Amino acid sequence: MSKSRSCRVKLEPILTEITPPRIIKTAVLPGKRAESLFIAEPNGEISTVEFDHDWYLKSFLDVSDLAMEGGLHGLEFHPDFSENGRFYLHYSVRDSDSQDSSNWNDYNSYHHYDTIEEWILPDTGVPICIRTLLNIKWPRPDHNGMNTLGWNNGCLILLTGNGGSSSRAQENTSLLGKVIAINVDYRLWKFEKDPPPVFEVNELDPIRKASLKIVAKGLVDPSGFDVDGPIKYLTDVGEKILAFTRWKRNFGSENGSDCHKPAASYISQEGRVIGGCVYHGQKIPNLVDRYVFADTNGSIFSIRSLLEDDEESQIPCPLTTEEDNLTLTALGSNRRKTRIFIGGYNDGVGGLYELVPQ
């Protein structure tokens, strides 16, 4: 088991009296040199955090008229965003075929569908949706995941929840409960712009099917993805932190013989894990090279970074903070992972904070 590390930290406010963010990302805007901090709200509003005598939010994109209420789940920027302006969204949509109560066994029946889109930021500064990568049918209104997009080995990484059905997460052809790697450059000019929503890979058109690969299965309600060198970290409901170096994993029930053992797991008191990242800063020495993650109940933990052949399960080490009654909603970092940002709220009032030494 990992040794306990005493570590006292605090959440230093950057912005208060805002809507609690669901996603926190950084990227260098085209034409800029410094990173910009982005926050995305559940309703689909995305803003940059700007400074002019004081911190304030500047609107970047608002898809609240497209997404169902609370339906924005993922935001990710292309590694060359500063040059090509490309970025990606994952959000839920209801249409005329959506049903309030769908039939598990009827593949024509769905509560809503999740869309994964590619957008571009042109010289006008007004983002434009240029194509839809996937439309996935969702049988129930839950288990969509949060902070569901990432990047690894030249591919967009999409985490999908199981839609309320653990069996679909184990079905090899289902798009639910999976980690999906999408080659966004594969014959991109051939994509039809708005494909029909589907449940399974086999329902996709040939070009779209060839552009993606299911690389892991067994997810329930994922909440974050992070890459640190060869090691990938993934958080899922059940307060599981999964660490691995190779894909083709089964993250389902640990009772299965082929299931991947979590690097760490714990029992949450009325909360759920909201994602994490490896810290490479110097301001908090006891956290250097450790994976830091948070829980909605206000708790923040760390585990040591894992080596490729390390299969030892760890007991998460809690960080000591002075914040009380703060519900946490999001965790993110800058690109070099030297700064960790956290979103949350208290008495309904949201805020954006930075994790700093006490």
Residue 189: its pLDDT value, please? 62
Q: Residue 96: what pLDDT?
A: 64
Closest Cα partner for 357 from 285, 279, 276?
A: 285
Identify residue 311 by its one-letter amino acid code.
E
- For residue 344, the SS3 value is strand
SS3 of residue 118 by DSSP: strand
CA 191 to chain centre: 25
pLDDT in tens, 232-241: 999 998 778 8
Confidence bin at 355 (pLDDT 50/70/90): very high
pLDDT recorded at residue 308: 46
The average pLDDT across 89-107 equals 75
- Tokens representing residue 235 in the block: 């958080």
Q: How many residues in total does the chain contain?
A: 358
Tell whether pTM > 0.85: yes
What integer pLDDT is reported at residue 288 of this predicted model?
Answer: 93
| Of residues 347, 343, 346, the one with CA closest to residue 294 | 343
Query: d(Cα 157, Cα 7) in Å, to the nearest integer?
Result: 32
Q: pLDDT category, 2, cuts 50, 70, 90?
A: very low
Residue, of 89 and 5, whose pLDDT is higher:
89
Cβ(113)–Cβ(135) under 8 Å? yes
Say whether pLDDT at 315 is over 90. no
pLDDT grade for 273, boundaries at 50, 70 and 90: very high
Do 47 and 7 touch, CB atoms closer than 8 A?
A: no
- Provide the 10 A C-beta neighbour count for residue 311: 12
Domain positions in the chain are 7-357
Q: Which residues contact 189 (CB under 8 A, 6 or more apart)?
A: none
Topology classification of domain 7-357: Neuraminidase (2.120.10)
User: Hey, what are 38's tokens?
Assistant: 């982005």
Quick one: three-class SS letters along 248-262?
CEECCCCCCCCECCC
| Residue 224 and residue 274 in contact, taking contact as beta carbons nearer than 8 Å | yes
The torsion angles phi and psi of 158, rounded to 5 degrees, stand at -115, 125
pLDDT at 105 (0 to 100): 61
Which tens digits make up the pLDDT trace of 147-182?
999 999 999 999 999 987 767 889 999 999 999 999
**Pairwise CA distance, residues 298 & 318, whole Å:** 11
pLDDT mean over 34-57: 95
CA distance 103 to 92: 19
User: For every residue of 51-71, which 3-state class applies, written as one string?
Assistant: ECCCEEEEEEEECCCCCCCCC
Q: What is the CA radius of gyration of the chain?
A: 20
